[in-house]
Structure 1
Amino acid sequence: MMNPSTPELLVLHAVRLRGVTTEAEAAARFGLDEEAVGELLLDLQAYGRVTRSAFAGTSGWSLTEAGRAEGERLLAEELAGTGHGPFVRERYETFLAYNSRCLTACTDWQLRPDGTGRLAVNTHADPVWDARILDELTVLGGVLDTLSAELGTRLTRFSGYGERFTTALARVRRGEFSWVDRPRADSCHTVWMELHEDLLATLGIRRGEEPEPRAV
């Protein structure tokens, strides 16, 4: 049975996953009404859970320590209430088993051996090198799609990761090479790392305290 999350949890979670976000981005992340999200962010600001900052002509919302703690409390409460903890943990362990492969693929997309034993910027002049990486990302996209679909049957906020990853990969195959690791956009790397953060937050696991990944 699918369980929808509360609007407060979703907004706090959207801000956490994005790091710094606008009202429009936070609303779009979970398909919420932008005006309602804006009002909720103001309420959260009044409680000291989010803060708004501006720099170089841009502005956005980010979590305070109190907001992060409240988000984690709500996530733990949700997980305990639904009883899906073991299910999510099992999918997290599957994700972790593939995590290093995604990081390696993204690194190989950026850098490649130059023939002298050193690494150089990948200029994408070698179609064989790039094709190998794209094949690997295609496999990883399938893993992500399965995990997102399975998790989404229990907690609806996990839905969509696979589609977002596949969309980014399709752009790469059309020649938009930055969509493998483009920051502040739904690139392959961003989507993968966001699911990682989502799983850690949901399970209450701190970075640096993760278990050793199992072999796949």
Structure 2
Amino acid sequence: MTASTPNHVLALHAVRTLGHGDGARIAERVHLPQPEVEEHLLDAAAHGWVTRSSYGADDEWSLTESGKAHGEQLLAAELDATGARSEIATIYRDFLPLNEVVGAACTRWQLVELGLGPQDVSLASTITALREPAQRLAGIEHRLTTHLLRFTGYHDRFTAALAKASAEPAWITGIDRDSCHRIWFELHEDLIATLGLTR
């Protein structure tokens, strides 16, 4: 059974996977109109599940602890309705070795950028290290979306960022863009939220 997550759940869940974000960023992430996303988030705020803070000219949403717990309850109910809990857990176990590769590659590159990394770590070697996880992510995503459509897009986003990295290395770990590291972090958070796990 393939499940389409309700829009109000998508909006709340995106706040968790992104960590925080303004309405435009959250709307872009879930492919919904910004006014609709803002309405869902205002409803969530009324229940104490999200808070909105101002940073200069921007308002950003973040999840509260009760919002995190509520979101996990919604995702658990969705997962159980699909009957795919065991399969998603298996996919997550298959994801973990790739997660180690991506995490190590990104950490080494961050150290290089700070001038603290070993001399044998280059941009080319980092991109090479990320290519196999990028390729295998296609299969991971296909298995996930057989049950939960909201996992669609991670592979395209990751490969697009990796393709840009040779010309602009910030696409590997940059926090100001949809970088490889940020996308992979979101996917990991999506999986653990879905399964009710911790990192």
2:142 is aligned, of 138, 144, 149, to: 149
Unaligned runs of 5+ in 1: 113-118, 208-216
Single out whichever of 162-171 and 53-62 deviates more from structure 2. Answer: 53-62
Q: Does 1:199 align with 2:191?
A: yes
2:165 is aligned, of 162, 166, 172, to: 172
4+ residue segments displaced more than 3 Å: 119-123
Q: Does 1:139 align with 2:139?
A: no
Residue 157 of structure 2 aligns to which amino acid in structure 1?
R
Conserved in 2, the CA contact under 8 Å of 1:146 and 1:162?
no
CA distance, structure 2, for counterparts of residue 177 and residue 137 of structure 1: 13
Residue 164 of structure 2 aligns to which amino acid in structure 1?
R
User: How far has the Cα of 1:186 moved from its partner?
Assistant: 1.2
% identical aligned pairs: 43
Mapping of 1:1-216 within 5 angstroms? 1-112=1-112, 120-121=115-116, 129-173=122-166, 175-207=167-199
User: How far has the Cα of 1:10 moved from its partner?
Assistant: 0.6
> Which structure has the larger Rg?
1
Residue 63 of structure 2 aligns to which amino acid in structure 1?
L
Q: Figure out how many residues of one structure are paired with residues of the other and give that number.
A: 198
CA distance, structure 1, for counterparts of residue 152 and residue 125 of structure 2: 28
User: How far has the Cα of 1:73 moved from its partner?
Assistant: 0.6
Unaligned runs of 5+ in 2: none
**Structure ranking higher in helix proportion:** 2
TM-score in terms of structure 2 length: 0.92
CA distance, structure 2, for counterparts of residue 98 and residue 110 of structure 1: 18
Conserved in 1, the CA contact under 8 Å of 2:123 and 2:169?
no
User: How far has the Cα of 1:120 moved from its partner?
Assistant: 3.4
TM-score in terms of structure 1 length: 0.85
